[in-house]
Structure 1
Amino acid sequence: MTDAPHPPKYEIFDVPAMTNTDNKGFVRPVLEYRETDYGLYMSRTADHTRFSHLESWLLPALGLRANIFHFTEGYRAGQRLYLDVGRFHGPDAAGRWHAVDWYLDLIDVPPHHLRLIDVDELFDACSAGLVTVADAEAAVFAASRALVGAAEHGHRIQDWLDAQAGEPLAWLDRS
């Protein structure tokens, strides 16, 4: 790896304030939050050149954040879900949810199999003391569980996520 490892990325999902604070401290307005027994849904616009909207499901029991980036033309054609692996929890006493990204990501581009990336980043961060061995093990377990779950559902990660939630996860294009 050529770059020094970076610390884990932290985000805050402030449901009462209807904001999302990213790892760089940028606070963005949220259009919709929906809390369920299995997680938190967020929908917000994005001020990014590559995508105009972001939807996310924080799924604490799975150690996953499932995202749909609504890309502008020419960027990541065919990508359906982008899953961050980490620790997701909430709400706290103030009604906020918190996310810690543990580097590993899973990319869903149907009809291809789910792809795991950034394993090197996790191991470099662990070696540098930026994540504990226990957190690194939890990240590998969560990613492995998702890969196996998708495989058991015909390589359709959305079907596995729906089964884990006990109902279909609602997205803007799939209410």
Structure 2
Amino acid sequence: MTVHPPKREVFDVPAMTNTDNKGFVRPVEEYRETPYGLYMSRSADHPRFHHLESWLLPSLGLRANIFHFTDGYRSDQRLYLDVGRFHGPDSRGRWHAVDWYLDLVDVPGSDLALIDVDEVFAAHAAGLLTTAEATEATEVAVTALTGAAAAGDIQTWLDAQVGGRLDWRSGP
């Protein structure tokens, strides 16, 4: 398995841009800052999806995403959650994300799925993720999995954790 460093992104609210881990800067249609996180909505130049919505939720260690897929790609997926460290705004009004490899996939009618566990172990073995970070990533994922199971679904659990409703452009 080829292991890559943790993916890092910058969400530049004043500039209305999102810089991905490869350095590509994309315009953002909407940013919304709340006491519990940052919402972003932007178009995407990806062959599988044309629009991306994300909520950075620092206190939960999660980034919740809705990918608006093109026809024929994962039409059953509702939410995709990245586990990592999310924080902001910094002194320049920017938010930052570090993806710790683990992901949760929400498909209606199925249990919330945890994926990329092998990547966490490979990154830790390669020295790209500390033991503390790998442990925290695991704890975040387990908390979300058990919370979603107890609440009935991940969206209900997320809403309860932030004390409100995570609003999406088209609903989760």
**Is TM (by shorter chain) over 0.5?**
yes
Residue of structure 1 equivalent to 2:56: 58
1:173 and 2:167 aligned: no
Candidates 68, 74, 84, aligned match of 2:82: 84
Candidates 97, 103, 106, aligned match of 1:105: 103
RMSD of equivalent CA atoms: 0.9
> Residue 153 of structure 1: CA displacement?
0.8
> Residue 174 of structure 1: CA displacement?
3.3
- One-letter identity of the residue aligned with 2:156: D
> Residue 111 of structure 1: CA displacement?
1.2
Structure 1: runs of 5+ lacking an equivalent: none
- One-letter identity of the residue aligned with 2:117: V
Partner secondary structure for residue 126 of structure 1? helix
Q: Which runs of 4+ in 1 moved over 2 A?
A: none
Residue of structure 1 equivalent to 2:16: 18
Aligned positions of 1:148-163 closer than 5 A: 148-154=146-152, 156-163=153-160
Residue of structure 1 equivalent to 2:122: 124
> Residue 5 of structure 1: CA displacement?
1.0
Deviations 1:43-72 (A, max 9, x none): 000001110000000000000000000001
Partners in 2 of 1:108 and 1:45 — Cα distance? Answer: 22
Q: How many residues align?
A: 172
Partner secondary structure for residue 74 of structure 1? coil
Partners in 2 of 1:125 and 1:26 — Cα distance? Answer: 23
Partners in 1 of 2:102 and 2:144 — Cα distance? Answer: 12
Deviations 1:121-153 (A, max 9, x none): 001100110010000000000000000000001
> Residue 173 of structure 1: CA displacement?
1.4
Q: 1:174 to 1:4 in 2, by over 3 A?
A: closer
Partners in 2 of 1:79 and 1:174 — Cα distance? Answer: 13
Partners in 2 of 1:164 and 1:76 — Cα distance? Answer: 27
Percent identity between matched residues is 72
